[in-house]
Amino acid sequence: MRTASRGLPLLVAALAIAYPWLVPNYYLVYAGALTVMYAAMATSWNLLGGFTGYVSLGHSAFFGLGAYGTGLLVTRLDVPWAVALPVSALLVTVFAVGVGVAAVRVRGASFVIVSIALVSMMNLVVQGWRSLTGGSTGLQVPSPFPGLHRGQTHMVFFYLFLVLLGLALLSWWYVSRSRFGAGLRAIREDEDKAESLGVPTGAYKVAAFALSALFVALAGGLYALWFGSLDPIFMFSILIGSYMVLMSLLGGVRHVYGPLLGALIVAPAGEYFLIALGETQVHLAATGVLLILVVLFMPEGILSRLTRGRGGPSIPEESAGQRLEGAAR
Amino acid sequence: MSLLLQGVALGVLTGGLYALLASGLSLYFGVMRVVMVAHPAFLFLAAYLTYTVHTALGVDPFLALPVTVPVFFALGVAVQRLLVARLAPENVAMMSVLLTFGLALTIEGLLGTFYTGSYKSVSMEYATRSLTIGGVHLPYDKIIAFAVAALTLAVLFAVLVRSRFGQALRATIQHREAARLVGVQTERVAGYGFGVGLATAAVGGTVLALITPFFPASHWVWIGKLMAIIVVGGLGSVAGAALAAVLLGVVEGVVLVTVDATWATMMFYVFLFLTLLARPQGFFGGRLAHRF
Amino acid sequence: MTSLRTEGLTKSFGGVPAVHGATVELRDGQVNGLIGPNGSGKTTFFNLITGMIRPDSGRVLYRERDITRHAPHRIAHAGIGRTFQLCRVFPRLTVLENMLVAVRRTRLRELLAGLHDEGEAERARRWLHRMGIEHLEHAEARDLSYGQQKLLELAAVLMAEPDLVLLDEPAGGVNPALIDRIVTLVRELNAEGRTFLVVEHNMDMVMGMCDHVIVFDRGAPIAAGPPSAIRDDPRVLEAYLGV
C-alpha cells in the first residue's frame, strides 16, 4: 500500500509526460490536453471546495475572465502572451478577492447560489460590453506559436496544462500540510467552532477562494491562447463550472488526486459522447444524470471508497494512524 | 415621467410572476431545507409543454394547465420521495443543491434535444394588444400573467392557511420533530409540499410561455433572478420573498425602459451582492440565510 | 485585577429577552461558576462574550479593553477560549490536526508552516498528554468516545494559551471518574494562572471547584458570592424552585 501510494503517482506522471508520444494521432493529443486542462481546473476548484466545503458552481467565471483577460491584453494592448497570461490571472485573483469578501459571507446553499449568480453576471457583462469584448460574435486571439502546425500546438499546450496541473497539485499538497490547511478543513467541519478557536475564517475563506480562482484563471488564459477564439456563451457556461464540481466529487474531494481521477473519467467520456452522438444537448443531460448519481450514491467519491475498502481494519485509531503516516512520507 | 411610470407598471406586473416562483422556492426550503435550483428548469419544462399543447392542438395555452398541473404535482412528489429524501442526512443543504442542479442540467439537456436550442414562443392574438391608462401602456399578456400569478398565489396561501394539509405543512416547516410527535406524517407532507411547489412552476411556465420567448438555457437567468430575490428577501421568509420580488421587478422594469435589458438583468445581481455586503441575512426577516 | 466585565449586556430573540442587562465582573485568577435554571440565559451570555452573537446593547470589557462586537476570532486572540455545551470537535480531522487549528496570531509564516512543525506538534502533544489522550494523536476525532472528545475540545482550546477559559457544562454527559479528572485539571490550570468561567448544572462540582459563583435568572445575575453564601441564599432557591 505504501509503495503503491508513492510509486503510483510517479508512474502516472511518467505516463502523462510520455502520452503525446504514445498515441497514434494528434486528435488524441488534443483530447489529452483537454483532459489535463479539466484536471488542472478541478484540482484548483478543490482548493476551495475540498478544503472548506464551499461548493462553487460558478468557477467558470474565473475561467472566462482569465481567458478574456489574456485575449484582450494580447489583442488590444499588444502585450506578449507570456506576460499577458500571468497578468490576467493576477487581475482575476484580485477580482476574486473582492467577490470573495461578499460571497463567503453566506454559507452552504446560499454560497452555491451566489456562485451561480456570479457566472451569469460575468456572462452578461462580457456579452453586453460589445466594444471591448466583441460581444457574442467572439474574440479572436492570435496563436502564440504561429510557426507550429495545429497538431504541434496541441502538443505544446498539453505540456503547458500539465505544468499547470502540477502547480495546482503542489499547492493542494502544500496547503494540506500547513496550519492554514488545518484551519480551512476546520471551517468545513464546523465554522463557528473554528472561529472560536481564533481562526480568522473570513480571511481564510477569501484566501482559498482567490487561490482557487488563480489557477482556474491561468487555465482560462491558456485556453484562450490555445483555441484562439473566445465566445462568452461557452467561456462563461455553467457547464464548465459543473464539470469541475462533478470531477472533484466523483474522484473524492478529500484527496489530492480526487479531482484528477474524476477528470480522467469525465473528460474522455465527454469527448467520446461528442464523437458518438455529435454536437447535441445530450451530453448536458448525461452530465446532469451523472451528477445526480454521484450525489446520491457516492458523495465521498471513488478514492474514499477505495481507501476505506482496502484499509478497513476494525480498529479506527490504527487505520487513521497509518493514513497519516502514509501522508507524511 | 410617463416612461418611469411605464417601467414601474411593467415591473409590478412581472413582479407577480417572480413572487409566485419565489414562493415555490420558499416552500421547498421550508419543508426540506432544500434550495431547489431546478425550479426554473421545471418552469421551462412547463413552458415547453404548453408550447407543444398549443401548437399541436391549437388551443389556448391555459388549457394546458389541467394537464401540466397534476403531472407536475406528481413529479414533485416523485422528486422528493425518490431523490431528495435519499440524501444522507449530514450536509443535506449542500448536497440537495448539487442534486437539483443535476436535475436542472438533465432537464435542460432533454429540452435541448427534443426542442432544439432555438427560441420558441407562444403568441396569442390577445397578447399583442395593450391597455392604455394615463399614457401608460399595459400589454394584455402581462396583465393576464399578473392576474394568473396573483390568483395562484392567493390559492396557495388559502391552502396553506385554511386546509388541514396546509396546517400539517406549516407545522412541518416550523418544527419537524414536534409535528411528527403530534401525528403529522412529515415525510408524506414534505412530498406533497414538493408537489405543490412544482405545481406552481407548471402555472408559472404557462404564464411565462405567454409573455416571453424562451430557449432551454434561459432557465439559468431565472435561477439568478430568483435567487437574488430570495437572498434580498431573506431565505425562508415567504413574505420577504414576495416583497423583494415586486421590488426587484420594479427596479428591473424601470432600468429596462430607461437603460437596456442587460442592465435590467444586471440589477438583480447588483442587489444580490449589495445585500450580501450590507446585510447577509436579507432585508425582510429570514434569519436562516447564511446558515444554509 | 478585573479579568472580564460586562455592563448591562442585553440580547433579545424575536422580542423575548434572553440576556437582560447583565452586569458581571470576574476577578483574575479565580474559578467562577455560572449557575441558573434552564433558559436563564447562561449560554447566550457565553455567546455574547465570545462574539458568536452580537448584543443589542451593553458592553463587554476584557482587561479593561472594550471587545464588544469584535469578531469571535479577535476575541480568541485577545485571550478568551471557550468550549461548547454539546462538545464540538472537528470530526473528520485527526486529534493532532484538531490541536493545530487554534491560532493565537495571524502570521503568514506561522500559517504556512507545516503541520509537522515539530515545535507546535510537541506543544500539542504535551497538552494531549496532560489530558491523557496522547495515544490517540492520529485517530480521527469522530472515532473518540464522548469523554475523550470533551478532553480533546478542552486541549484544543488550551493550545491557544487563553488567559480566560469559558467552559459550557464540562460535566454534561460524562462519567463520574472523568468529572473528577476535569475538576482536578481546572484546579491545576487555575493554579497556573488561568481564570475560568464555568456553566454547570452539577452543583457538587460547582460548589467544590469554584471560588466565586454567579447565579443567573431570566437573563441577569440575581446573586453572586462564595459558594457557601450562594448555597443558603433564598433568592437562589426561589429561582431554582420557582416558589
3-class SS letters over chain B: CHHHHHHHHHHHHHHHHHHHHHHHHHHHHHHHCCCCCCHHHHHHHHHHHHHHHHHHHCCCHHHHHHHHHHHHHHHHHHHHHHHHHHCCCCCHHHHHHHHHHHHHHHHHHHHHHHHCCCCECCCCHHHHCEEEECCEEEEHHHHHHHHHHHHHHHHHHHHHHHCHHHHHHHHHHHCHHHHHHCCCCHHHHHHHHHHHHHHHHHHHHHHHHHHCCECHHHHHHHHHHHHHHHHHHCCCCHHHHHHHHHHHHHHHHHHHHHCCHHHHHHHHHHHHHHHHHHCCCCCCCCCCHHHC
DSSP type of residue C136? G
Q: Does B88 map to a domain?
A: yes
Mutation site for C-interface testing, chosen from A193, A300, A308 by largest number of C Cβ within 10 Å:
A193
Q: Does A179 touch chain C (CB under 8 A)?
A: yes
Angle between helices B92-115 and B39-57 (to 10 degrees): 20
pLDDT in tens, A246-263: 999 899 888 889 899 999
Amino acid sitting at position A35: T
Q: CA dist C62 to C2, C41, C74, C79, Å?
A: 8, 20, 12, 9
Dist. CA C195–CA C41, nearest whole Å:
21
CA B112 to chain centre: 21
Which residue did the predictor score with more confidence, A305 or A292? A292
Subunit contact A182:C97, Cβ cutoff 8 A: yes
pTM over cut 0.90: no
A-C contacts at Cβ under 8 angstroms: 117
Q: What local confidence, expressed as pLDDT, does residue B275 receive?
A: 83
Dist. CA A262–CA A303, nearest whole Å:
10
pLDDT greater than 50 at residue A325: no
pLDDT greater than 90 at residue A94: yes
- A118: nearest CA partner in chain B: B269
Q: What local confidence, expressed as pLDDT, does residue A326 receive?
A: 39
- C140: nearest CA partner in chain A: A320
Q: What local confidence, expressed as pLDDT, does residue C166 receive?
A: 92
- Chain C residues whose beta carbon lies within 8 Å of the beta carbon of residue A254: 92
Confidence of residue C110 (pLDDT cuts 50, 70, 90): low
Total number of domains in chain B: 1
- C154: nearest CA partner in chain A: A197
Total number of domains in chain A: 1
Q: What local confidence, expressed as pLDDT, does residue C190 receive?
A: 92
Dist. CA B204–CA B227, nearest whole Å:
16
Q: Which of C73, C89, C91 sits opposite A195 (nearest CB)?
A: C73
Dist. CA B228–CA C154, nearest whole Å:
41
CA A43 to chain centre: 5
pLDDT greater than 70 at residue A311: no
Dist. CA A181–CA B159, nearest whole Å:
50
Q: Give the mean pLDDT of C172-199.
A: 90
Q: Give the mean pLDDT of C80-84.
A: 91
pLDDT, one tens digit for every residue, chain B (292 residues):
677 888 888 888 888 888 888 888 877 877 777 878 899 999 999 999 988 888 888 888 888 888 889 999 999 999 888 888 888 777 777 788 889 889 998 999 898 888 877 787 777 766 667 777 777 777 787 888 888 888 888 888 888 778 887 788 777 777 777 777 777 777 788 888 889 889 999 998 888 888 888 888 888 888 888 888 888 887 666 777 888 888 999 999 888 888 888 888 889 988 888 887 777 666 665 444 333 3
Q: What local confidence, expressed as pLDDT, does residue B285 receive?
A: 53
Dist. CA C200–CA B193, nearest whole Å:
42
Domain encompassing residue B201:
16-219
Q: Does C57 touch chain A (CB under 8 A)?
A: no
Confidence of residue A157 (pLDDT cuts 50, 70, 90): very high
For residue A49, the domain's CATH number is: 1.10.3470
Q: What local confidence, expressed as pLDDT, does residue A5 receive?
A: 64
C-alpha R_g of chain B: 19
Q: Scan residues 157-176 of C and list those with Cβ closer than 8 Å to A.
A: 157, 159-160
Q: What local confidence, expressed as pLDDT, does residue A42 receive?
A: 95
Q: Which ipTM score applies to this complex? A: 0.88
Confidence of residue A158 (pLDDT cuts 50, 70, 90): very high
Q: What local confidence, expressed as pLDDT, does residue B234 receive?
A: 73
pLDDT greater than 70 at residue C150: yes
Neighbours of A312 (CB within 10 A): 9
Q: Which of B97, B107, B216 sits opposite A109 (nearest CB)?
A: B97
At the top level of CATH, the class of C2-241 is alpha beta
Dist. CA B185–CA C174, nearest whole Å:
35
Neighbours of C234 (CB within 10 A): 9
